[in-house]
Amino acid sequence: MANSAWSEKILQLLRRMNNFYLPGSCRSKCWRFEINEAQVGWIPPHVASLLTRYPEVFSPPHGGAVSLCGSLDSYEKKSEAVDAVLQSLRQESSLTCLKGWRDEKYSVMPKFSDPPLMWMERAATSLFGVKRYGVHVNGYTVSDSGEVNMWLARRSLTKQTYPGLLDNVAAGGLAAGIGVKNTLVKECEEEACIPAAIAEKARPVTNVSYTYEDEDGVFAESQFVFDLELPLEFKPRAGDGEVQEFYLLPIDKVKELLATDDFKPNCAMVVLDFLIRHSFIEPDTEPCYQEFVAGLHQTL
């Protein structure tokens, strides 16, 4: 693929993954989701109108915001009241995303540095545009001559989301109360059979953030990214059935794949960031260098 066609594909990926910021997105029609007067998400109009049926949990939309009722005055009360609403909506089965119910609790707070105000079922977060945090690991090797190869996973065909697409060697969402490094070690073990003694050598290097919308709502996501140089003789193996196969690929091949539809989009972003940080993309030969970096770190 010619350089400029590759760059254009990458820009398209970044635009798609940040389409909530584009003119014409549902953003101007969304309600702010507020708890204790602080914004914790964005509620699309079709969700806001469903929520009016639960006035004991959600105050009526007001001043551009939907808020939790003041009577829900603790972390547990908020979490349980919202969960009851979601369970009821799940049974009606009008909201497709709730069919992917996972029994995974995600923390809800205005910023990552704030104390969580409640937890919410993972499958429901897009209905409220609540920010989801996760961990992604770039697994790679460096040969004696300095050549870099990257391990990629092929997602299992039975995965609920993005079946059969390329993924980072390990990745996962941050469940309520679990630390970033602990999540990384757990996911490395479960998904790729990387023992803790190796996974713990992963180095935090950045955070990749983006917000996109689709028919399931607003996906505001923020991934903590780690680099993990794997021993040359080590081979990741499929662990929990989420991965069908692992490949060790030269960087040129990885770069080429980034511009195809074979990659889970947010994993492609994490790999793009790796290519930039490791100088496989240079500002004098990649005119969109600055746009690439900007597209990897969009926040409201």
Contacting residues toward its own copies, per CB under 8 A? 7, 111-113, 133, 179-181, 203-207, 209, 222, 224, 276-277, 279, 281-284, 287-291, 293-294, 296-297, 299
- Smallest gap from Cβ 93 to its own copies, in A, equals 35
Q: Which is nearer to its own copies, 47 or 137 (CB)?
A: 137
- Smallest gap from Cβ 161 to its own copies, in A, equals 23
Q: Which is nearer to its own copies, 128 or 133 (CB)?
A: 133
Residues 6+ positions from 292 with CB-CB distance below 8 Å: 10, 11, 14, 272, 276, 281, 286
- Smallest gap from Cβ 57 to its own copies, in A, equals 29
Q: Which is nearer to its own copies, 114 or 261 (CB)?
A: 114
- Smallest gap from Cβ 279 to its own copies, in A, equals 4
- Smallest gap from Cβ 8 to its own copies, in A, equals 10
Q: Which is nearer to its own copies, 84 or 294 (CB)?
A: 294
Q: Give which of 127, 129, 125 is closest to 102, Cα–Cα.
A: 125
**For residues 118 and 108, is the Cβ–Cβ distance under 8 A?**
yes
Q: Which is nearer to its own copies, 48 or 225 (CB)?
A: 225
Q: Which is nearer to its own copies, 57 or 275 (CB)?
A: 275
CA–CA separation, 27 vs 22, rounded Å?
Answer: 9
CA–CA separation, 247 vs 228, rounded Å?
Answer: 15
Read off the tokens for 32: 């702010």
Looking at the DSSP assignment, which residues form a beta bridge with residue 31? 43
| Residue 177 DSSP SS3 | coil
CA–CA separation, 33 vs 52, rounded Å?
Answer: 13
- Smallest gap from Cβ 220 to its own copies, in A, equals 12
**For residues 57 and 82, is the Cβ–Cβ distance under 8 A?**
yes
Exposure of 229 in the CB half-sphere (CA atoms within 13 A): 8
